[in-house]
């Protein structure tokens, strides 16, 4: 009888485990517990493989670039043949603006709670709702999900038999948001780099809210304070307080919705720097002339790229530490946009060398950087540095706790593999981009060309 007790206990434990497993399969319960298991899995994975310790060092780096001469570089940039600049307000002689503007963006506030990696759809929802957008024709789903169904369509998660639109798709690119507006709605959107507080204020004064992409330190879904990229919906400013007014879609359970958050100008610019001062404007198509007039020189994207390049040079000459890393990265990004891939590759080499020297913690090493910005892949690929493309992709794909789920990195690794003659590996990576994002147009095009 004494010997039977362990067996009885074992049977009881097995019964409880089976009961718990059965209960977990009930959608109502699964939807409330699955994310906790995902968090635990991510935490264990991050502990075993700290993402901040993943470092890419270019194998074929170019010689160190000389210390920049801002005047020389700016003159060279402005000598580049480009279309004529607009005759509207010039950056150097800005029109006086009112002391404040408030477009009451809290009226269209949309959060990203209960969704994975949804700051793109949430912010784009606010930008469209501001102008009265009601959703896609015939669709009744949450507006965020309508946008996500296009920009991050996801796939059927076999473990839950549900569409996973967020957990594995870690980022929505700015161009994907602009394309959604231009292709799926009756509104228009444009993207520009090299923004300054003045042009944001000018747009707000004219009645056009702005979406920016910025980096900042925030507690992520695991409760860890770390650098991440994020979109913000900018709906006002106040010169007396020296603040921009933003609607922030991201907040944790214990916090209140971040409506009408005030961000000091200095902090706004500091975070904006890590995304090359990029901004997105959504507007009714019939008001395009007014938007371009308000943008002034920024109406011309070629001018904006040169502006961003000059800003990067100025930042390189004055900053240090992580901000210097961002400045060199921006120099590379601006050069890619101007199709000067050799200059871009050398600038990214400098950025990644600086990155390796930053303190080995999440507050100093922004390991998510290439999740959001793929310029280094362009630069290395179009200078024939295919192994660097592969190495960078390997490091980047090792950082997400969800595993290698960044379709852009998989795409560029596949491109480099194909260029090196490793067709089988290239096809595997390219097919995976479409499993993760069936709407990923570059992957579709490559597979059609390769017969895969």
Cα 308 from chain centre: 18
How many CB atoms within 10 Å of residue 112? 22
How many CB atoms within 10 Å of residue 362? 20
Structure pTM?
0.82
pLDDT confidence of residue 113: 86
How far apart are alpha carbons 167 and 155 in whole angstroms?
11
Residue 233: in which H helix or E strand, if any?
strand 225-238
How far apart are alpha carbons 143 and 135 in whole angstroms?
6
pLDDT confidence of residue 51: 74
Residue 110 corresponds to which tokens in the numbers above? 């949309």
- Residue 123's nearest CA partner among 279, 316, 293, 318 is 279
* pLDDT tens digits in sequence order for the chain, 452 residues long: 444 556 667 676 676 766 655 655 555 455 444 444 444 444 445 555 667 778 888 986 544 443 333 222 222 222 222 333 333 334 445 678 999 999 999 999 999 988 888 999 999 999 999 999 999 999 999 999 999 999 999 877 666 556 777 778 889 999 999 999 999 999 999 999 999 999 999 999 999 999 999 998 876 555 667 889 999 999 999 999 999 999 999 876 667 788 999 999 999 999 999 999 999 999 999 999 999 999 999 999 999 999 999 999 999 999 999 999 999 999 999 999 999 999 999 999 999 999 999 886 656 789 999 999 999 999 999 999 999 999 999 999 998 877 888 999 999 999 999 999 999 999 999 999 999 999 999 999 999 999 87
- Give 385-424 as a DSSP string: -HHHHHHHHHHHHTS-TT-S--HHHHHHHHHHHHHTT-HH
Q: Where do the domains of the chain lie, and which CATH numbers do they carry?
A: 86-299 (3.90.70.10)
How many CB atoms within 10 Å of residue 80? 12
pLDDT confidence of residue 81: 29
Residue 32 φ then ψ, to 5° = -95, -20
């Amino acid at each position: 009888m004494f010997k039977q007790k362990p067996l009885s206990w074992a049977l009881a434990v097995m019964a409880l485990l089976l009961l718990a497993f059965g209960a977990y399969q009930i959608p109502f319960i699964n939807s409330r517990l699955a994310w906790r298991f995902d968090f635990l899995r991510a935490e264990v994975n991050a502990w075993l493989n700290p993402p901040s310790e993943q470092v890419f060092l270019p194998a074929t780096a170019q010689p160190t670039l000389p210390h920049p001469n801002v005047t020389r570089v700016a003159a060279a940039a402005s000598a580049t043949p480009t279309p004529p600049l607009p005759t509207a307000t010039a950056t150097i002689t800005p029109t006086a603006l009112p002391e404040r503007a408030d477009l009451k963006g809290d009226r269209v506030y949309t959060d990203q709670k209960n969704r994975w990696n949804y700051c793109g759809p949430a912010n784009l929802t606010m930008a469209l709702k501001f102008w009265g957008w009601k959703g896609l024709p015939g669709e009744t789903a949450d507006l965020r999900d309508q946008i996500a169904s296009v920009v991050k369509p996801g796939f059927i998660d076999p473990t839950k038999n549900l569409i996973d639109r967020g957990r594995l798709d870690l980022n929505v690119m700015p161009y994907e948001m602009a394309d959604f507006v231009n292709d799926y709605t009756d509104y228009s959107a444009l993207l520009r780099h090299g923004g300054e507080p003045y042009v944001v204020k000018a747009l707000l004064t004219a009645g056009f809210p702005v979406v920016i992409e910025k980096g900042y330190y925030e507690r992520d879904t695991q409760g860890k304070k770390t650098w991440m990229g994020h979109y913000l919906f900018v709906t006002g400013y106040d010169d007396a307080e020296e603040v921009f007014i933003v609607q922030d879609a991201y907040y944790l359970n214990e916090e209140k919705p971040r409506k009408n958050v005030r961000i000091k100008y200095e902090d706004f610019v500091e975070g904006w720097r890590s995304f090359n001062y990029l901004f997105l404007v959504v507007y009714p198509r019939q008001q395009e002339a007014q938007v371009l007039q308000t943008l002034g020189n920024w109406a011309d994207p070629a001018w904006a790229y040169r502006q961003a390049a000059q800003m990067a040079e100025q930042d390189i000459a004055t900053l240090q530490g992580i901000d210097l890393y961002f400045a060199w990265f921006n120099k590379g990004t601006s050069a890619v946009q101007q199709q000067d891939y050799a200059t871009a590759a050398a600038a990214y080499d400098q950025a990644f060398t600086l990155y390796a020297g930053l303190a080995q913690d999440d507050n100093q090493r922004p390991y998510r950087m290439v999740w959001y910005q793929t310029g280094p892949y362009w630069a290395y690929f179009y200078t024939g540095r295919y192994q660097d493309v592969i190495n960078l992709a390997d490091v980047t794909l090792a950082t997400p706790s969800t595993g290698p789920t960044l379709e852009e990195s998989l795409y560029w690794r596949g491109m480099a593999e194909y260029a090196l003659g490793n067709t089988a590996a290239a096809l595997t990576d390219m097919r995976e981009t479409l499993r993760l994002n069936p709407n990923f147009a570059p992957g579709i095009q490559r597979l059609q060309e390769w017969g895969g």
